[in-house]
Amino acid sequence: MSENKITYIENAVLGEGYYSIEHKSGLRIFVYPKEEYTSTYAVFGTKYGSIDTRFKRSDRADFIEIPAGTAHFLEHKLFESEELDAFQRYAKTGASANAYTSFDRTCYLFMCTGNFKENFEILLDFVRHPYFTEETVRKEQGIIGQEIDMYKDSPEWECLFNMLSAMYHKHPVRIDIAGTKQSISEITAEMLFSCYDTFYNLSNMALAVAGKTNVDKVLEIADRLLEKDEKVTVERAFEKEPEAVKEHYIEENLPVATPVFAFGYKENVEGDCCTLEEEIAMSLILDIAAGQISSLYKELLDEGLINGTFSTEFFNGFNYSAPIFSGESTDPEKVSERINERLQQLKKSGITSEEFETVRKKQYGKTVRAFSDIDTVANGLVISHFEDEELFSEFEVIKNLKLDFVNALLKKSFNEDKTVLSVIKSK
């Protein structure tokens, strides 16, 4: 008899569902079959990102601090082995493989149209078997140092992190995900093993497979390759962040044809992060205020103040939250003023029921369409698990969202005293 606990979760709107498996190893596994697809996408993630620089294991007495960029550094190193690295192994099977580190997670992934068994075995093998030496760590410090320099030459990336560094005094979200040359120079092999043992515990991870696959195929390999971990939980700690922004304006010179900008509002977060209802409500507010169907977007476009690069985003996570407007503009200050004027006017008048229903239907349709992409589905399963949500919860939240809730969130957000404008201009 299997020791794995399997639950099937179905969505009536989509007419499809997925399997949620409490695996005997301690890992949560998700399988979302789409047998009509020719490709399979798998992602193996850990709840460990760039902001996790101060933490305590449940079996230890004290908090420890690690250099900025360690999570990203560990992601790079995990692909290595004493023989062939993981990319070389994938090259033999024909799979497309990658990995990424964000502020709050690290994920390893592949997509294939064949050889699923071999590719899945490679994924589970290299993520579960770290190999670091002081010599290879020193070599990687030089490689990632070059990567940090490369990001410094990316106007959009530099503009975002300039904004975050002006917005936050102490929260580690203000530091580039890759860290700094100084911080990565402090990383050692021993430190990487310590972080691996803490955050790559299977109880802190999730695995999702979507596309042409089935539960039996996934579990046959997982049962064979995954050994049980003794459960370890992680407590995160952040220095108290002042409510005010550090600076309202920050500018840098890089060779750009048109100035690049990022304009955001620092919002206070009570607890670890925003609720799913707050995330969706804020996304609706941004769409109504400055999305492509808004009057402001059309006005700014007609006046030549923005172009097709303009976008809105609700950026949030553990103890940080900021609605952001970004893109290219010949007059970023004017654009930020117009955005702020529109939001302050909306706060006074409130969103109308007609605006609310139009954007809510648009969001619902967008959510439905997202389920046609197996990479979005698989990554969504991992992210939802890390946020203690269920993948299909978004449907119910959008369906049951109330206009009063959205207007209440609008009224307490977008404080004019907590704005930051980051601009990249040519010399």
Q: Which residues of 282-318 are buried (b: 16+ CB within 10 A; e: fewer)?
A: bbbbbbbbbbeebebbeebeeeebbeeebebbbbbbb
d(CA 424, CA 328): 9
Q: Please say if 239 is a catalytic residue.
A: no
Type of residue at 218 = V
d(CA 277, CA 18): 23
d(CA 284, CA 101): 27
* Range list of H helices, 15-154: 70-78, 86-93, 116-128, 134-152
Residues facing 252 on adjacent strands: 424
For the record, the structure tokens of 261 come out as 């900008």
Type of residue at 344 = Q
For the record, the structure tokens of 407 come out as 């207007």
For the record, the structure tokens of 251 come out as 């500018």
Helix (H, G, I), strand (E, B) or coil at 320: strand
Sign of CA dihedral 299, 303, 306, 307: positive
Q: Assess contact for 411 and 403: CB atoms under 8 A.
A: no
Question: What are the Cα distances from residue 73, in Å, to 65, 70, 89, 100, 203?
Answer: 15, 5, 21, 11, 22
d(CA 131, CA 184): 18
Catalytically annotated residue among 10, 65, 75, 337: 75
d(CA 171, CA 175): 8
d(CA 380, CA 374): 10
The residues annotated with a catalytic role in the active site are 75
